[in-house]
Amino acid sequence: MKGMSRRAERVSELIRDEISELLRRQTRDPRLSGNSVISITQVELTDDLRFAKVYVSILGASAEENREAFGSLVHATGFFRHELGQRLSLRYVPEISFKLDTSIQQGDRIMQLLKEIEKKEE
């Protein structure tokens, strides 16, 4: 979150927490509440609080389920923005854009490869 103002950092944390809460409790879309686990990893907010990039990590049973879950998130952007407007007292509710964060999946793949190397060395 390098470069964000202190206020933008605080608001981005609030947005992350609220969207996470909405995903856990409010979402009725079966593609979002199915086999995929969706985590909000980071929110980058512009200093004027107008635009938010919401980074999500999706871990699921299959790549197809993950794509469906991400598509559903993007489709529900208006819902999330509306709910943020109801829950947060901000003058302007930021425009939200969801971005896929694959760092957790990449880390998991690296761990698998390291375990395979370790087994071969034994």
pLDDT the model gives residue 1:
46
**Mean pLDDT value of segment 4-16:** 90
- Residue spans of the domains in the chain: they are 6-121
Contact (CB, 8 A) for 32 and 102 = no
Alpha-carbon distance of 54 to 90, in angstroms, equals 17
Phi, psi of 59 (to 5 degrees): -120, 125
Cβ neighbors of 70 (< 8 A, separation 6 or more) are: 56, 58, 98, 100
State mean pLDDT over 8-35: 82
Mean pLDDT of 93-110: 85
Higher pLDDT, 102 or 98: 98
Taking the C-alpha atoms of residue 15 and residue 92, their distance in angstroms, rounded to an integer, is: 13
Q: What is the pLDDT of residue 93?
A: 93
Cα(15)–Cα(62) distance, rounded to whole angstroms? 28
Strand locations in the chain, DSSP E? 37-45, 51-59, 95-100
**Average model confidence (pLDDT) for the chain?**
85
pTM here?
A: 0.78
DSSP string, 69-89: HHHHHHHTHHHHHHHHHHHS-
Q: How confident is the model at residue 30 (pLDDT cuts 50, 70, 90)?
A: low
CATH class for domain 6-121?
A: alpha beta
